[in-house]
Amino acid sequence: MVVTKNFSPSQLALYTALLVSISVGVCFLFFSIIWWQVLIVTLCVFTCSFFIFREVLRRFIYRKIKLIYKFIYQTKASKREEIYHKYVLPQKSIQEVEDDVQAWAQKRNEELESLRSTEKYRREFLQNFSHEIKTPIFAVQGYLDTLLSGSLEDQELSQKFITKASRNIDRMVHLVSDIDEIARLESGKQSINKQDFIIQDLIKEVFESVQTNDAEKSVNFSIKKGCEAPPVHVFADKEKIRQVLTNLVINAVKYSGASPQVIASVYKPDGARALIEISDTGMGIAEEHLPRIFERFYRTDAGRSRNSGGTGLGLAICKHIIEAHQQAIHIRSKVNVGTTVGFTLQARKD
């Protein structure tokens, strides 16, 4: 069966010329029964009408299509494209041309979509950044203004205000260095230097460092029973994983009550990967926050109202680091029960 919509201009001209010449030939049979005369007339009509139809199609339809092609490929045609326009394009069926134009439109749509989301991301980033930086800047400004307007004589008050201003400056430094870290991870400029190490040893080191940082709280750090041994060797960037563990352990302490319990677990679900989890028995995170918790600057109301000095970037950094290792990170949590953040790492090939 002939599928009419897939005719190329030459085929279209051929079929039309055939139809016209056969019709003329049949009409001619009424006037002359000399078969060779009928044949010559039919052949002449066929040849002339074929060339006329083909030329008309090329001139009025394919020239316009050529213009569309030039437009969608945007530039002045190169030599190769000229050849394409001259010889290949006229062979294409209208359906193929339609497919090409649709593919072009789809590509443009995707480009537009990506531009829109980059723009949205940029706008959100600026809003979040200015929101986060505003609080410490205004606080420092307030303390300095108060000092300058006469409180400098009061030594005790001066000491108090300067300490507070210094804490806010630390917060700004923290924020800027977190943003810098995210930017480097996103641009792929930060290389991942993988090495073999025992994950339980690193967890113990992180526990010790966080313990000394948080002397006021009586935190109970432990590795889950049965997970301390045998040693699990992983192949990853040790310093980056230290950063991930430190962020998670600090969060576990920060978002828990007076005597937090922080438990680390290490599993080997299969020969290729190790699963590391940091759990706490703290305030937990409401279910509606969980899908967005790894987004930059995202904080739950509890996280904000605590004014814990966090930037809302810690979990986003963890996600970036784990994804740079081509591994996955996840979170489970229940309000007033606790939170578990787990991530996988490549296990050392034994």
CB nearer to ligand ADP: pick between 136 and 310: 310
Question: Closest approach of Cβ 310 to ligand ADP, in Å?
Answer: 2
Cis preceding linkage at 230, omega within 30: yes
Q: In what helix (H) or strand (E) does residue 23 lie, and over which residues does it extend?
A: helix 9-29
Contact between 347 and ligand ADP per CB under 6 A: no
- Asked if 296 and 320 count as a contact pair (C-beta separation under 8 A), the reply is no
Q: Does 252 bind ligand ADP (CB under 6 A)?
A: yes
299 near ligand ADP, rule: CB under 6 A: yes
Which one of 97-105, 117-125, 237-245, 297-305 is the stretch in contact with ligand ADP (CB under 6 A)?
A: 297-305
- Binds ligand ADP (CB under 6 A): choice among 339, 343, 344, 347: 339
**9 lines the binding site for ligand ADP (CB under 6 A):** no
Q: Does 293 bind ligand ADP (CB under 6 A)?
A: yes
Among 185, 283, 329, 345, the residue binding ligand ADP under the rule CB under 6 A is: 283
Q: Are 329 and 342 in contact (CB under 8 A)?
A: yes
Does 312 participate in binding ligand ADP (rule CB under 6 A)? yes
Closest of 4, 6, 1, 3 to residue 97, by C-alpha: 6
Is there binding between residue 181 and ligand ADP (CB under 6 A)? Answer: no
Binding residue (CB under 6 A) for ligand ADP from 244, 255, 265, 319: 255
302 binds ligand ADP (CB under 6 A): yes
DSSP state of 342: E
Nearer to ligand ADP (CB atom), residue 19 or residue 328:
328
User: Looking at beta carbons only, is 9 or 310 nearer to ligand ADP?
Assistant: 310
Torsion (CA) 202, 205, 209, 211 in degrees, nearest 10? 110
Are 172 and 134 in contact by the 8 Å Cβ rule? The answer is no
**Least distance to ligand ADP from the beta carbon of 206, Å?**
15
Q: Could you tell me how far CA 276 lies from the centroid of its own chain?
A: 25
CB 317 within 8 A of CB 185: yes
State the Cα–Cα distance between residues 46 and 34, nearest whole angstrom.
19
Q: Nearer to ligand ADP by C-beta: 296 or 325?
A: 296
The closest alpha carbon to 247, from 296, 275, 210, 289, belongs to 210
Q: Which of 245, 282, 322, 329 binds ligand ADP (CB under 6 A)?
A: 282
Q: What tokens were used for 304?
A: 């904000």
Residue 265 lies near ligand ADP (rule: CB under 6 A) = no
Question: With binding defined as CB under 6 A, does residue 251 bind ligand ADP?
Answer: yes
CB of 156 to ligand ADP, least distance (A): 32
- Which of residues 17, 314, 320, 322 is near ligand ADP by CB under 6 A? 314
Burial 239-271, CB ≥16 within 10 A → b, else e = ebbbbbbbbbbbbbbbbbeeebbbbbbbbeeee
Confirm or reject binding of residue 280 to ligand ADP (CB under 6 A). yes
Q: For strand 195-198 and strand 233-236, is the pairing parallel, antiparallel, or unpaired?
A: antiparallel
- Site of interaction with ligand ADP (CB under 6 A): 247, 251-252, 255, 280, 282-285, 293, 298-300, 302-303, 310-316, 339
